[in-house]
Chain A
Amino acid sequence: MVIVPAYNEAGAVGTVVCEIQRVVPKIPVVVIDDCSLDSTIDVAEAAGARVLPLPHHLGLGGCVQAGYKLAFELGYDYVIRVDADGQHDPRYIPDLLAELRRTGVEMVIGSRFVAANGNSTTFLRTIGIRFFRAILRPILGHTVYDPTSGYIGVNRKALEVFSRSFPLEYPEIEALVVLRRKDFRFSEVACKMRKRMAGRSSLTGSRSLSYIVHVLLGVFVNVLKIERPPWRGRRD
């Protein structure tokens, strides 16, 4: 299943759904509408997606978790998350799925930085990514090059965990630590991100600071819950 969390993305969600269906025509696409104020639901349905309509705004984490819960209940083995703003090129969905199936890792991240692929992002965002990469390295036991990427594929084991416990506000980085707590593995697949097709990023100005504080606290709390730190080795 491909899930597309969306909030006020009427300008892009239709194109994103059509692109996904063109790349993986046999896989159902579910748009999770986080109580948008625009016509996101109508546009998504018109493009051929099924819609999971949240009755009120939950934020990105609650929205994504709703999709994971649904996929888990419906018995899906793999779920790929694609953002509704068009930044995630659906051409890479088969690569993410193939990596999940081939390696058996619980999570695959579509990464801008795992190989030199000409990706560009803002200066501030690059600093943020490098900062979190450095923070996460000792916790995860290896480097995750693009920890803020939302282009993510998970298998059923990760789905089960995320159905029960998933960060509500800014989920990407915390989710890695949640998986680390369970001794799960993840890998990265090189992806090229695009510019958003419509709308504006929610991470602007003071929200960026709130993001950093929130994520650091979330990571710290999840680290406290880790039963087996990296320096004690992996469970067999």
Chain B
Amino acid sequence: MAGPERLIVDRLLDIIAIMALVLIALTLGTLRRAHIRVEYSVSWLVGALVLLGLSLSRRTLEGMSTIVGLESPALALTLVVGCVFLIIFFRFTVIISKLRDDNVALAQRVAALEYYRKNRGDEGTVT
């Protein structure tokens, strides 16, 4: 790897490492204040640890870039960052969809109970 590119990769790795540390601190802090639930913080902590590990281990990153056929470890790292966030976003989309379904069912149940309460013993002929 040429000198200038090595410098860019080093800088990128430093930035990613700092971002990963900030993300871990932020997640733990939010957890401590009970603003997010433990089960939903796992994705962020795992993602941040993966990024931190890769940014601290240049050899792993170079090995990875060779495996995926990318000449530059910087590109490989960008690919990993993109994949990590895509997986996290996808997981949360699944969770949000389930919550929405649960929420709709709950709202419909509350409405039905309110209906029964108001019309108690008032149901006539079924048609």
Question: What residues of chain A have their CB less than 8 Å away from a CB belonging to chain B?
Answer: 1, 26-28, 30, 32, 50-56, 58, 62, 65-66, 69-70, 73-78, 168
Contacts and interface: CB of A to CB of B under 8 A. Distances in A.
A66 B123 contact: no
Contacts of B107: 54-56, 58, 62, 66
B111 A55 contact: yes
Contacts of B114: 52-53
Contacts of A30: 115
In the complex, the 7 A-B pairs of residues with the closest C-beta atoms, listed nearest first? A66-B108, A54-B111, A62-B104, A52-B115, A75-B126, A55-B110, A52-B111
A28 B124 contact: yes
Contact of A76 (B110, B115, B118, B126): B126
A1 B119 CA distance: 15
Contact of B123 (A26, A54, A74): A74
A77 B119 contact: no
Instruction: Say whether chain B's binding surface is mostly helix, strand, loop, or mixed.
Output: helix
A75 B123 CA distance: 11
A52 B104 CA distance: 14
Contacts of A66: 107-108, 111-112
A73 B127 CA distance: 13
B96 to A, nearest CB: 13
Contacts of A54: 107-108, 110-111
B111 A1 contact: no
Given A50-B115, A50-B119, A62 B124 contact: no
Interface in B71-127: 100, 104, 107-108, 110-112, 114-115, 118-119, 123-127
Contacts of B126: 74-77
A76 B127 contact: yes
